[in-house]
Amino acid sequence: MYIIPAIDLIDGKAVRLTQGDYNQKKEYNAHPLDVAMQFEDAGLTRLHLVDLDGAKQKRVINWKVLERIASKTKLHIDFGGGVQSDDDLRTVFECGAKQVTGGSIAVKNPDLLEAWLSRYGAEAIILGADARNEKIAVSGWEEGTNVWVYDFVDKWVDKGIRYAISTDVAKDGLLQGPSFDLYRNLQERAPGLNIIASGGVSNMGDIEKLAEMKLFGVIVGKAIYEGRVTLNELSVYNE
């Protein structure tokens, strides 16, 4: 299982939100590149980079930060937040992302996401399947839907999606443990899908339990920044 550290960006700085609430923001580092280099130095190989400004404004904003990190590290970067047009996607790939996460667009403009899947291939596109009470949430989690997360994932697996990041919004940033049932249910519904867990990781015990489930990866954010887990502890999963 890959350990995938997260850097969330607002105004070009590394921050974390609680339950996706922009009013519950905590800034951790004004220099995201420094944070990314610490991850790489610890032996981690992947990075989940989220443009929270972009998610809110529905266009990519923090592409320069992506470009800086991609040019100064060898991290495999998946990028999300505000990627809602061909131009956005082109910019993100040109700036060095290896994968792009499409969440809002999968709900609001599914034909375009399908076109991207066809053009760039299933290795390049990650489905963002974030949910609150098992219903899909979009636009930086500010908008709820009536779409059941499992039906949503089923539909996109049928269209060729091979990777999905799923966050239980209710647990994100609270350090109270991941939504194990959500991931277990997704595994049962889509056994061939590479599932990346996100949200709620509070300690190494949570990570070990997810590893036992044989998920593709887990995104770890606040637990790192708050010192609940160390980079040395995390690096053993990528050896």
**Catalytic hit among 51, 53, 130, 172:** 130
| Catalytic status, residue 51 | no
Residues 6+ apart with CB under 8 A from 173: 16, 17, 18, 19, 20, 24, 199, 221, 222
Burial class (CB in 10 A: 0-12, 13-18, 19+), 22: middle
The Cα 110–Cα 100 span in angstroms is 15
Two tokens, residue 219: 């995104």
Joined tokens for residue 92: 């993100």
Please give the backbone phi and psi of residue 38, each rounded to the nearest 5 degrees, phi first: -65, -40
Q: Is 78 tagged catalytic?
A: no
CA distance 25 to 28: 10
Which one of the listed residues 8, 78, 168, 206 is annotated catalytic? 8
**Catalytic residues, which ones?**
8, 130
